[in-house]
Amino acid sequence: MVLWGKISHFSVFMILQLLASHEKTGVLELEDNQERAAIYLTDGRVDAVSVPRSDHMLGSRLVKGGHLTEVQLRRVILASGLKGENEFLGLTLLKSGLVKPEVVVAAVREQAYDNTLELSNWVRGTFSYDEPAEPVRFPISPQINVQHLLLEVSRRLDEGQRPSREKPELPGHDLCAHCSSECSPEQRRKYLRDGICLWRNMAVRVRESIFDPGNEEVRMYEQERHAGDLPFL
């Protein structure tokens, strides 16, 4: 184990930005009330975000988006099982020809955003970061820039979106007691609500970008969001 600590002292987003700034390759694991989540990184970029949420599964997302039917999904999964294959569902779907590569990558990318949003209310428990001898490699990875990931999640939080799964919360004064951010009363009124401190969960550079719309990194982020070609491995 390379790094360990309490989420109440260091938020998930703060640790994620720290690992990204050093271009780390490894797994950030989170444990809270017997639930576990994991964020996989390669060279400081996010490959995948795993949380205990079944409705964020790739197959369900593609069905909901109208890219294939439930019947088609069941047939693909059943056929893969009968062949004894144990591979990533996205690869199985690509081999089937039912879904285009860019659709699968876009779905994986959106899945990472939604799953990271679920982690925004993890205020208790512990985090640990480790670098396995054999790094985990995903055959399909959006390779998301952490800064862009945090910008997108912070935007969704600021617009009122909330994690679908409730988690035990810390009272506002407890969050502030463990926080090193020097926020103003106005910022506290705006960002400390519903048991989640959005200001604390935003990394420093993300917070600065919010108050500087002309920031070059924000413009690059918006351009990337609308780009037609997504990285595909």
Average pLDDT estimate for 141-146: 88
pLDDT digits 0-9 by tens, 11-28: 888 899 999 999 999 999
Please write the tens of the pLDDT for every residue from 84-99.
655 677 778 888 888 8
Q: Give 118-152 as a DSSP string.
A: HGGG--SSEEEEE--SS----SS---EEHHHHHHH
Give the whole-angstrom CA distance, residue 81 versus residue 117.
Answer: 32
Q: How far is 187 from 184, CA to CA, in rounded Å?
A: 5
β-pair type (126-130, 144-145): unpaired
Phi–psi pair at 127, nearest 5 degrees? -125, 150
- Strand, helix or coil for residue 51: coil
- Backbone dihedral angles phi then psi of residue 109, each to the nearest 5 degrees: -65, -45
Q: Has residue 163 got a pLDDT over 60?
A: yes
Q: How far apart are CA 192 and CA 158, in angstroms?
A: 11
Among 111, 113, 119, smallest CA distance to 11 is for 119
Highest mean pLDDT among 32-41, 56-65, 219-228: 32-41
